[in-house]
Amino acid sequence: MSLLPDFVIVGAQKSASTALAESLRQHPAIFMPAGETHYFRDPEYAVAKPEDLRALFAASGQAKRRGIKCPDYLGQEPCAKRIAAELGAVDIIVVLRNPVERAVSHYYWLMRWGQLPLRPVDVGMRSLLRGEYRSVRWADEILEYGLYGKHLERYLAVFGEDRLVVLLDSDLRSDARGVGAQVYRHLGVADDFEPRIARRSRNAGVYPLGRLRFLRLRNRFVYDNGDPMTGTMRRPTHMQQALPNAAVVLADRYVLASVLGNDRPPLDSEIKDVLLDFYADDIEKTEALIGRDLTSWKRS
């Protein structure tokens, strides 16, 4: 029996793919390793070894389906062909979110981890749109990863329509159990299983700049050289790293969140219009590809 994944959640980033993966992991017929599997992603693919991927499924036992998740796979151009070359005709699961909202959340996410300067989002997004962050690691992905139609075309060409399940994050918010049952049916496992629905997202965004500044204290513990611009992110394993990392997270969650809240400032209407113009054609393409009405993503 081949211990390789037969389905892949490919993203999109900041679109609730983590919540979907956590519900799938709970199903008794499905095995997914914890966290994200970066095997097919750049730059990891250059040094990845097939045995590394197989090792993730050593404990999968008699699972009927095996899967992995990495939200960067959708937006990174080489990933579809890499997945097909090594795994064959696997099932591909995609969760999409309003691309303007996704871009803003992505911007906050990169600020949180020290890859962008701490600035009000309107100021930062203007700099991004003017091209001032071209030299910043991962900044180009903020806009690129929301071009869903462009990226879905690539996956459809490689895997075919029957292998793709495309969901919207609004589907998960309005009917998490129903969406879960839909995915279970596609994967050929019992669709009457009811996972525990987490009350709080593990990847929830944080928006006040004061909280983001405090959370950036984690960088020295979660990057291999303490530098978010050059280091590789990892899970702290030694007590001298894990304890202060956890202390920062808990202090933010139970102290700063109470004091500063977590309201996301509204996006300047001028910037929103520029972003809507940027994504307009691709939203039309996405509508045609997935057969869904995406009016709510368009200019009101």
pLDDT tens by residue, 25-55: 999 999 999 999 999 999 999 999 999 999 9
Query: Do residues 33 and 118 share a domain?
Result: yes
CATH code, domain carrying 188: 3.40.50.300
Mark out the alpha helices in 188-256 (DSSP H runs): 209-215, 219-222, 239-251
pLDDT for res 234: 84
Global confidence as pTM = 0.92
At 81-135, the pLDDT tens digits run: 999 999 999 999 999 999 999 999 999 999 999 999 999 999 999 999 999 998 8
* Residues 6 or more apart whose Cβ sits within 8 Å of residue 70: 8, 9, 10, 11, 36, 37, 38, 39, 40, 41
Query: Do residues 15 and 35 share a domain?
Result: yes
Query: Do residues 166 and 252 share a domain?
Result: no
Query: Do residues 4 and 85 share a domain?
Result: yes
Query: Do residues 143 and 243 share a domain?
Result: no
Domain count, the chain: 2
Query: Do residues 200 and 212 share a domain?
Result: no
227 three-class SS = coil
Nearest Cα neighbor of 11 from 45, 40, 47 is 40
Q: And the tokens for 239? A: 């007590």
Query: Do residues 226 and 277 share a domain?
Result: no
Query: Do residues 219 and 293 share a domain?
Result: no
Query: Do residues 167 and 90 share a domain?
Result: yes
Range of the domain at 57: 1-204+269-300
Query: Do residues 196 and 216 share a domain?
Result: no
Query: Do residues 277 and 163 share a domain?
Result: yes
Query: Do residues 153 and 276 share a domain?
Result: yes
At 135-192, the pLDDT tens digits run: 888 899 999 999 999 999 999 999 999 999 999 999 999 998 899 999 999 999 999 9
